[in-house]
Amino acid sequence: MSRGAHPRSRSPLPRAVRVVAATAPLVFWAVIASAGMLAAWGLTATAAAPAPVIDGKIAEGEYASHYVARSIGMELHWTIEGDSIYIGLRAPTTGWLAVGWDPSGPIMQGEDILIGYIRGRELFLQDYFANSSVTHANDVSLGGRDDVLESSGSEDEQFTTIEFRRKLDTGDRFDRPITPGTHTVQLAYAPGDDFVTYHGEKRTVVRIDFLAGAAQEAGLFARPRSLGEGSDPLGPWLLTVATGVLAIVVLTAACLLWHGRGERRPLR
Ligand code: HEM
């Protein structure tokens, strides 16, 4: 029996249409899934936002971007304005809380750290540097500078909030500049009103692109406030993904058609 004798295989055009029709839902879902993944990774730009007020309170929408580390219940908010970064930290503790970035490793080593706590009505916030994998010292004691330009904080029975501003690039050798691209960021807090109490499990690591307003940690929540606002690079991403998927579909269709032509050769 000739395998090429089936009447529906005679014209390549209907077959091409059938192949494209069959793969169209695939293209659609690939594009939707890609959009979902990109949104989940927080690959969106921040909208221009006014500089936050450093008053020890983080108001809804005050910062351009934020990341909530759900595993430890800690919030990191940030806005980049001119040559400065404004950072707001909030955690369920009455002890210290800290943010650090760009460890060279292992663990915390080489990391630029800002750590602070509130005792009474006073904020103790210091510019630190992780001088070993599990210890840190303040920049001044190491021969560097304290580069916090403004700061404020508040505390109630459950939460501590700290806000501060520093330059994106301080020039201090014990600081790490905030540059375009992703940074490894560490968040932690502990119950002690000091700079030494071990945080135990209240620590986490996240990859953050401060300038793009994007954060990524598997299983944790990252939602730049600017999602859907301002300039949105999601469009070009989607176009690239859609073009790629379309190219795959066209190539698959072409292969199938070519294969189909081969099948119609009469058997000897
Ligand atoms: C206050 C003194 C501190 C001590 C004694 C300390 C000690 C340690 C130790 C022993 C570890 C390894 C075990 C573990 O994962 O828990 C560790 C890991 C870690 N620490 Fe600290 N730490 C201190 C401060 C900080 C600060 C200020 C931060 C945030 C900037 C921080 C963030 C982290 C993170 C995120 C990890 C896990 C790193 C990873 O698994 O890659 N620590 N710390």
In this predicted model, what pLDDT tens digit does every residue of 100-138 receive, in sequence order? 999 999 999 999 999 999 999 999 999 999 999 999 999
Q: Could you tell me how far CA 167 lies from the centroid of its own chain?
A: 21
Query: Hey, whose CA ends up nearest to atom 9 of ligand 1?
Result: 134
Average the pLDDT over 158-175 and give the result: 98
Of the candidates 58, 61, 85, 77, the residue with the CA atom closest to the CA atom of residue 229: 61
- 96 pLDDT above the threshold of 90: yes
| Interval between CA 18 and ligand 1 midpoint (Å) | 58
- Residue with the nearest Cα to atom 42 of ligand 1? 188
Sorted by where each begins, the domain ranges of the chain are 10-41+233-263, 65-222
pLDDT at 240: 47
According to the model, what pLDDT value does residue 254 have?
79
Architecture of domain 65-222: Sandwich (2.60)
Residue 63 has pLDDT above 50, yes or no: yes
Q: In this prediction, what percent of the chain has a pLDDT beyond 90?
A: 61
pLDDT at residue 23 is higher than 50? yes
Asked if pLDDT for residue 268 goes beyond 80, the answer is: no
> What pLDDT score does 72 carry?
96
pLDDT tier, 27 (very low <50, low <70, confident <90, very high otherwise): low
Q: Whose CA is nearest to atom 5 of ligand 1?
A: 198
Cα(213)–Cα(67) distance, integer angstroms: 9
Give the whole-angstrom CA distance, residue 147 versus residue 114: 10
Over range 84-103, report the average pLDDT: 98
> 205: Cβ below 6 Å to ligand 1?
yes
CA-to-CA separations, 144 to 127, 129, 151, 217, in angstroms, rounded: 9, 10, 19, 32
| CA–centroid distance for 141 within its chain | 32
Check pLDDT > 60 for residue 150: yes
Buried b / exposed e across 228-249, counting CB within 10 Å, b at 16+?
Answer: eeeeeebeebeeebbeebeeeb
Ligand 1 centre from 187 Cα, in Å? 9
Residues 165 and 85: beta-carbon distance below 8 Å: yes
What is the pLDDT at residue 217?
Answer: 67
Q: Per-residue pLDDT for 243 more than 70?
A: no
Three-state SS at 117: strand
Ligand 1, pocket-test mutation among 111, 203, 204, 205, most atoms within 8 A of CB: 203
Specify which residues 90 forms β-bridges with. 75, 161
Predicted local distance difference test score (pLDDT) of residue 16: 57
Strands (E), 146-266: 150-155, 160-167, 183-189, 203-209, 214-216, 221-222
State how far the Cα of 75 lies from the Cα of 131, in Å rounded to an integer.
Answer: 25
> Distance, CA 130 to ligand 1 centroid (Å)?
10
Section 140-155 average pLDDT: 98
| Confidence at residue 220, expressed as pLDDT on a 0 to 100 scale | 37
What distances in angstroms separate CA 96 from CA 156, 182, 258, one per listed residue? Answer: 13, 26, 67
